[in-house]
Amino acid sequence: MVKKILAVTIILLAIIFIVVILSNSYEEPLEHVMVDSYGQPMIDFELNNTDSKLYSVTSDSGKPKLLNFWTSWCQYCKEEAEHLNEIYSNYKDDLEIVSINLTSSDNKEEAMDFIKKYNFEFPILLDYEGTIASQYRITAIPTNYFVNSDGTIKAITYNLTTSNSKNLIEELIRK
């Protein structure tokens, strides 16, 4: 009987420990992170846009890029949406912004509602198969790749705001 009580107590403590760890791990969004992709060439890709037309994203366009990966159910993605519109408004002539919905992990109708709600003016692509998310090793959302005009990856961020991206974007544009 004592062994059963001890076993149940240990299991309950383990469950409580796991719940506490998981609930605290996403309280604050991650900010600016440099990973092993830094300096590597971006991966060119093609996806359908929201009008079902094929859209190409290539490293040889000569323009710096912001690649934004998101889902409609992600709270941080919702917070980021306003900043993306502002960034686009401020830098649309100098920075190519492409937003990729992880449609393989999202509901297309909800994604379309999200797009309509935030009135995005930049290209929105739909990754139905998760192929591009896999190639870019997306493990957290939102994820933002900043790409130099020569097609190399400059930085990856997980919490994009107008203020924390300003210096990075201006550095990309100056190159």
Q: Is residue 18 part of a domain?
A: no
* Domains held by the chain: number: 1
The pLDDT tens digits for 87-129 are 999 999 999 999 999 999 999 999 999 999 999 999 999 999 9
| Residue 26 scores a pLDDT above 90 | no
Q: 42 or 164: whose pLDDT is higher? A: 42
The per-residue pLDDT for 116 is 95
Percent of the chain with pLDDT over 70: 84
Domain that holds residue 92: 30-174
Q: Is residue 74 part of a domain?
A: yes
Q: Is residue 11 part of a domain?
A: no
**Maximum distance among all Cα pairs of the chain, rounded to whole angstroms:** 73
Residue among 64, 80, 25 nearest 155 (CA) = 64
Q: Work out the pLDDT band at 36, boundaries 50, 70, 90.
A: low
Q: Is residue 159 part of a domain?
A: yes
- The CATH number given to whatever domain includes residue 134 is 3.40.30.10
Residue among 75, 142, 56, 68 nearest 98 (CA) = 68
Determine the Cα–Cα distance for residues 126 and 78; give it in Å rounded to an integer.
Answer: 17
The per-residue pLDDT for 28 is 40
Q: Work out the pLDDT band at 2, boundaries 50, 70, 90.
A: confident
The per-residue pLDDT for 13 is 65
Residue among 166, 124, 152 nearest 41 (CA) = 152
Q: Work out the pLDDT band at 17, boundaries 50, 70, 90.
A: low
Q: Is residue 142 part of a domain?
A: yes
Q: Is residue 19 part of a domain?
A: no
DSSP state of 41: B
| Residue 31 scores a pLDDT above 70 | no
The pLDDT tens digits for 65-83 are 999 999 999 999 999 998 9
Q: What is the pTM of this model?
A: 0.78
